[in-house]
Amino acid sequence: MKKHIVGVTGQAGFVGNHLYTTLSLRDDVELVPFERSFFENPSALSEFVSKCDTIVHLAAMNRHEDANVIFNTNVALVDKLITACDTASSLPHIIFSSSSQEVKDNLYGKSKLEGKKQFMAWSKKTGGKFTSLTIPNVFGPFGKPNYNSVVATFCHKVANGEEPTIINDAQVGLIYINDLVKVFIDAIFGDVKCIALDNNSFEVDVEPNHHIKVSKILELLLKFKSDYMGNGVFPNLEDYFEKSLFNTFRCYVPVDHYPVKYTKHTDPRGAFVEIAKTQTSGQFSFSTTVPGITRGNHFHTRKAERFAVIRGKARIQLRRIGTNEVINYDLDGEEPAYVDMPIWYTHNITNTGKEELITLFWINEPYDPEDADTYFENVE
């Protein structure tokens, strides 16, 4: 099978990282790694573009104290990419991340509009294919607080015990990062509805799929804080927006929040421990593990999961996909405790004791082999 070769400028950014890691899970895609330094190295940039069937141009500056710097930087990045294509005599399909801000009177929006015009001129001159995606406000895990979105800022502040401030309680249109990534992938493979701007240039107006007031977002996050972080209770995950917001929130929970110890009730009959309280459906299971054996080494992109050690000793390890830092939690059934698995974190559990390990698991979706949302990657 011939693979489609894709490069993503800005692959280390919020949207770029999600797109790059999602594409890495596909068997029909080969990724060409990109580094920001390529923009300062014409030969490296030309080599990059020459390898790609499709380039998704996400690299851009969003914020700066001087708006003119934003405009000049973003326009220059587009110009450098076009120059590299010309130098390499390469005609990749260029997919451009524009913004709903392009029709507004600010220099960030104007930089996006100017970039789109430059790519259209390149497309008309060379016959290369160009697609512009006009993107609304995006939210999801790993967004940068005070930079990417109000959701990222509020999640960070609420999870870390800070006081969020609502400046304008407006209704905002949002799209969840997983949904936006799907639009990009559909555009790469030509499966998205486009508006033809001319013979070789196309536009996709990406609509927000959630409309919600800022105060409602904060209300939900504060409830996650009290119910989930305070009492270990999973919210109802049937509503798609609330599940998406919850999975976003979980990625801002401080590392030292875990492991969370259970309340162990004992009497002459033995002991009783409540493992998980939920307002949603799901699947409970348990495993026994002999000493020295490791289970897991996989991650999920949408599922919420809890590991509860009730007998024996264990080490639970987590690592965010695309990073090297490993988080270690040591648990002992003498003081039963749990750790929850954030999405996009590969995780495992190892029996570090001398007796059989008993672990209880809860996950919010029953296992479906046709849509398992389970991807294997070693933590270490």
Q: What is the pLDDT of residues 100-130, one digit of tens each?
A: 888 788 898 899 999 999 999 999 999 999 9
Q: Residue 269: pLDDT above 90?
A: no
| 108 is an active site residue | yes
Kind and range of the H or E run holding 219: helix 214-223
% the chain with pLDDT above 90 = 84
Q: Tell me, what's the pLDDT at 60?
A: 93
Q: Tell me, what's the pLDDT at 337?
A: 96
Contact 283, 367 (CB under 8 A): yes
Distance in angstroms (rounded) separating the CA atoms of residues 34 and 11: 7
Distance in angstroms (rounded) separating the CA atoms of residues 340 and 318: 10
**pLDDT one-digit tens code per residue, 338-349:** 999 999 999 999
Contact 162, 40 (CB under 8 A): no
Angle at 10 between CA 118 and CA 16, to 5 degrees: 115
Closest C-alpha among 264, 261, 272 to residue 232 = 261
**Residue 65: pLDDT band with limits 50, 70, 90:** confident
Kind and range of the H or E run holding 326: strand 326-332
Q: Residue 268: pLDDT above 80?
A: yes
Burial group, residue 211, by CB count within 10 angstroms (0-12, 13-18, 19+): exposed
Domains and CATH numbers, the chain: 4-140+173-210 (3.40.50.720), 256-376 (2.60.120.10)
Which residues make Cβ contacts (< 8 Å) with residue 249, sequence separation at least 6?
A: 155, 158, 159, 221, 224, 228
Q: In the predicted model, what is the mean pLDDT of residues 228-244?
A: 95
Distance in angstroms (rounded) separating the CA atoms of residues 33 and 283: 38
Q: Residue 195: pLDDT above 80?
A: yes
Q: What six digits make up the tokens of 3? A: 């693979």
Distance in angstroms (rounded) separating the CA atoms of residues 353 and 290: 9
Q: Is 242 helix (H, G, I), strand (E, B) or coil?
A: helix
Kind and range of the H or E run holding 175: strand 171-176
Q: Residue 366: pLDDT above 90?
A: no
**Residue 150: pLDDT band with limits 50, 70, 90:** very high
Angle at 21 between CA 18 and CA 27, to 5 degrees: 135
13 or 269, which is more confident: 13
**pLDDT one-digit tens code per residue, 286-336:** 999 999 999 999 999 999 999 999 999 999 999 999 999 999 999 999 999
Contact 158, 223 (CB under 8 A): no
Q: Tell me, what's the pLDDT at 133?
A: 96
Active-site hit among 108, 176, 258, 262: 108
Least confident span in 78-87, 205-214, 278-287:
278-287
Q: Residue 267: pLDDT above 80?
A: no
Closest C-alpha among 232, 234, 356, 344 to residue 286 = 356
pTM, whole model, 2 decimals?
Answer: 0.92
Q: Using CA of residue 283, residue 345, residue 236, residue 163, what is the dihedral sign?
A: positive
Q: Tell me, what's the pLDDT at 281?
A: 81
Least confident span in 93-102, 176-185, 207-216:
93-102
List C-alpha distances in Å: 28 to 48, 316, 337: 19, 33, 41
Q: Tell me, what's the pLDDT at 317?
A: 98
Contact 186, 149 (CB under 8 A): no
Integer-rounded Cα Rg, in Å, for the chain is 23
Q: In the predicted model, what is the mean pLDDT of residues 2-18?
A: 96
Mean pLDDT of the chain: 94
List C-alpha distances in Å: 364 to 134, 235, 284, 287, 373: 33, 10, 9, 17, 12
**pLDDT one-digit tens code per residue, 80-103:** 999 999 999 999 999 999 988 887
Which residues make Cβ contacts (< 8 Å) with residue 31, sequence separation at least 6?
A: 5, 6, 7, 8, 20, 23, 24
Which residues make Cβ contacts (< 8 Å) with residue 76, sequence separation at least 6?
A: none
